[in-house]
Amino acid sequence: MSYIKSVVIRDFSIFSRDGDQISLGGEITALLSLDYGESVFEPCVKIVATFAGTEKALSIIKTRGTETARLKVDHPSGTLFFDDLIIQGTQEINTTSTATVFAVNFTTQDAIFNEQRRLTQRYEPTVKISSHVETILSTNLRTEKSYDIEETANADGFYGNHWMPYKAIYWLAKRSISTTGSSDGAGTDRAGFLFWETKSGYKFKSIDSIAANAKENVVQEFTQSEVVDETDTVGNFYILKPFFERDQDIIGQMRSGLYSDEARYYNVHTLGGPVGQTLNWSEVAKRQTHFGGDIDKLDFGVDEEGGFDSVHFFVDGTMNRDGKIAYNNAGNGEYNPHQIITQSRMKYLSMQTISLRITVPFNLELEAGLAIKVNLIASNQGIDKDKSGVYLIKDLRHTYSADGSYTNLRLIRDTYGIDKQANF
């Protein structure tokens, strides 16, 4: 069965605060389109629904915003189900004598709670960052969603300072070191954590751990095709309309600090500083895990000398009074938070060096943050072994319409080629 034509909308209902309801098959006469989005750089999923209904469909539930909604979509690749969606905004697109077309933006309850529930307590510097993240999600945000949190090697502390939960987690993500590659994270340089939401819940993971797992297994494999046959089940894993929206910018990357980064930190406790930290990409990259093949040495010594046209200044708002604290009593070893922040910056920049946009038939098994293998075609040469390989799904959009349903992907990675060590 073709994935393009196999989407079934089981339920689409909107509920008022007073208990009134409009549903598909009733006041909602047709769901015209549905866009569902995820991104590894976004804490919440996004949904936009366009539907036709009776003229007074939204008047029945007295739409003001924050009304709830339920959505269930079935497909051979999986199910998309939410029963806690919140209306963020509505727009009347068109009105005829027989129907009115509405567009509704939905968010999740947690997005509302994030604006309401602030952090006010002290978070101990001897507690691992991954434990802080779990506390923020379960106790401060009080989410009912599931979450998958990768254990960090290091601890850190901070003051709540009335921060929103999501802001605090992103602050911690930049200061986290992964344990992958060693028992305590020592010497791995595997910094660069991501925090995002998918349809299966929250994720807090390092880019390196995702890349390491991709060496053993990828979720799915897709191959470029110039022909679309909606009745061909083999075509469920075809790549349609691939194009690279970004593929190297050496000058821009040198200026942004990818290849060599100089950061200076002022300590709010001692008013001292600046504490300097300089790292070279070529040394850090050797101890990290990458999505493509080997790291190639760049000409002109770019990866060794980098460029210091941009010096980054930060305020050290942690509880660290001297830029380095020993946590031997907690079994976490020593680490330098300034170095981790600089390494994280390099990792985030390097992972967006190559950006590939592709479209595939509707596929609910795919989620932001997963690794997939793509096979791109080189004219008259078969598979392009340089451009093909494993990529990280940076963001995706599942798009449903009566004419056909597709999944649009933005893929990123930091190196070229197919990893010879990969086992899949």
The predicted structure's pLDDT at residue 147: 95
pLDDT, tens digit (0-9, with 9 covering 90-100), for 189-206: 788 999 999 999 999 999
The predicted structure's pLDDT at residue 130: 95
The stretch 133-143 carries a mean pLDDT of: 96
- CATH 3.55.50.20 positions along the chain are 117-208+250-288+296-344
The predicted structure's pLDDT at residue 324: 43
The predicted structure's pLDDT at residue 290: 77
pLDDT, tens digit (0-9, with 9 covering 90-100), for 261-319: 777 766 666 666 666 667 777 777 777 777 776 666 666 567 666 665 556 666 655 55
Find tokens 């509505």 and name the residue.
90
* CA 288 to the chain's CA centroid: 19
Q: Report percent pLDDT > 70 for the chain.
A: 79
- CATH 2.40.10 positions along the chain are 3-111
The predicted structure's pLDDT at residue 56: 75
The stretch 105-118 carries a mean pLDDT of: 94
Q: How many angstroms separate the CA atoms of 264 and 279, rounded?
A: 12
| 8-state DSSP, 209 | H
The stretch 345-354 carries a mean pLDDT of: 85
* CATH 3.55.50.20 at 117-208+250-288+296-344, yes or no: yes
The predicted structure's pLDDT at residue 288: 77
Q: What is the third-level CATH fold of 212-249+352-413? A: Elongation Factor Tu (Ef-tu); domain 3 (2.40.30)
Beta bridge partners of 304: none
Element (H, E) at 347: helix 337-351
Structure tokens at 185: 């994270």
The more confidently predicted of residues 344 and 117 is 117
Beta bridge partners of 31: 51
What's the CATH code, domain 3-111? 2.40.10
Does the pLDDT of residue 225 top 90, yes or no? no
